[in-house]
Amino acid sequence: MKPYYLAIFLIVLTACAAPAHPPAAAPDDSGTTVTPLPTNTCADSDGVDILVQGTVRGEQDGEQFLRTDSCVDDTHVLEWTCQYSAPVQTEQACEEVCEDGACVAAAPAPTEPEPTTPAQTTPPAEGSGIVTVNAIYQAARQSIINTTATDPDGIAELRLYTNGGKQVTARKDCFDQPTCEWEQSVFRFTSGLYNYTVRAIDTGNQSTEGSVVVFGT
């Protein structure tokens, strides 16, 4: 083979065997070659919430990263967040304790029960009924107190009082009837005057009363 043709053959062979190179960056309008910079990204899952174990993930200088919140000790948490598309860590104190990469919320304070006001009993108001009371003498120290009470609203009960109407000695249930009659024995152990009062309580908690005096011998 002639030297001229041999040289051409070697040039072609060398060109075919040379490794391929990536295309160069395209020049911009001014003719300057522009090389794109790596894109940095960062995302925080919990938004700096120390009560939640969160993660920070993204890409920094072309490398992927993943950071997870963790406990530094029993009362401090290492919290990850994003700043200018870069992962940043801060140590924060917990109000109670740190467990599993998050602060445990403090338990709510126990609430004290509100004080209760004792129930008050309202004395019966004056009613519109009529109570007739009289006494029948029997044995030397015994009498019968006869009572007839009427009230259009219905009578709930009759009450027999002594000592000036302050002490209840007997009761009778009248079952809300408009008329209620009652015979009640009383005893006199000493001589003197005994003042008995019968009070009728109607269904509206109103009262009407009558009195009688019994002589003791």
The structural domains of the chain, with segments of one domain joined by +, span 41-103, 125-216
Average pLDDT over residues 167-184: 91
The fold of the 125-216 domain, in CATH, is: Immunoglobulin-like (2.60.40)
pLDDT > 80? residue 70: yes
Q: Do residues 193 and 186 make contact, with C-beta atoms less than 8 angstroms apart? A: no
Q: How far is CA 49 from CA 3, 138, 158, 213, in A?
A: 80, 92, 72, 85
Instruction: Tell me how far apart the alpha carbons of residues 162 and 15 are, in angstroms, rounded to a whole number.
Output: 136
Note the pTM of the prediction, 2 decimals: 0.41
Greater pLDDT, 119 or 147:
147
Tokens of 82: 């994003």
pLDDT, residue 191, reads: 74
